[in-house]
Amino acid sequence: MSLLTIANDAKTVKGQKRGYLTGILYLAPHKVSGYNLCAGASAGCIKSCLYTAGRGKMSGVQQARIRKAKYFMEHRDLFMHELEININKLKAKAERENMKVAVRLNGTSDFPWETTGIMDKFPNVKFYDYTKIPKRAYQYGRGNMPHNYYLTFSRSESNMKDCWMAMEHGCNVSFVFKDVPKHYIWGPRTAWDHVPIQYEVIDGDQDDLRFLDPKGVIVGLKAKGDARKDTSGFVL
């Protein structure tokens, strides 16, 4: 089974200009497959999910992602073996094209891949993901993740406190905007903290290589798909 999608969207194609060939694993999100693969999802996140953006609008693509999610949850050992084969094929392709390798395993999910040991088997591959699970962001910020796994915490309409904590732990945070600004004034954080802070916003749609981002910034993402109709506060 082909598990990784390689350079099949604008952002990963842009990443090739920076020398990285990217493979992304797309599993059916939240409870779409009958298994919850997005433990930190909010109501706004579920309604605005990228699952329906781009090629995700196609029924055949959605069914393929459901099959992959079920395969992962019901036949974990076989799935992980095939994933290793897929990553090795990606590495071979990248070597032929004189590029480095990047892998995003949570293209449309939020599973703790650090628990599987996959990063340790490919120490020279850059793995990266977004997450809405605060514990994962804090662990990443403290340096308690595999050395080649990079996380960006994702803001929703209901987790602003967690976003603050993630930033303070050293994990960048992504915001979804209708129009991505250059700066974002955030705060005050608490009732006794009266000074808002202005953060630099980098354009996260320029490429998908989050492990190359500077620390201490907000990653701005433009609303896509169903997110463009959001009224929950998920999109700013």
pLDDT digits (tens, 9 = 90+) for 83-133: 999 999 999 999 999 999 999 999 999 999 999 999 999 999 999 999 999
pTM score, two decimals?
Answer: 0.92
Task: Examine residue 235 and state whether it is found in any structural domain, yes or no.
Answer: no
The total number of structural domains that make up the chain: 1
Q: Where are the beta strands (DSSP E) in the chain?
A: 4-6, 20-25, 100-104, 126-131, 149-154, 173-177, 183-186, 197-203, 218-222
Task: Judge whether 197 lies within some domain.
Answer: yes
| pLDDT (0 to 100) of residue 19 | 96
138 is a domain residue? yes
Using CA of residue 9, residue 177, residue 228, residue 113, what is the dihedral sign?
positive
Domain of 121 in residue numbering reads as: 4-229
Flag whether 234 is in a domain: no
pLDDT tier, 53 (very low <50, low <70, confident <90, very high otherwise): low
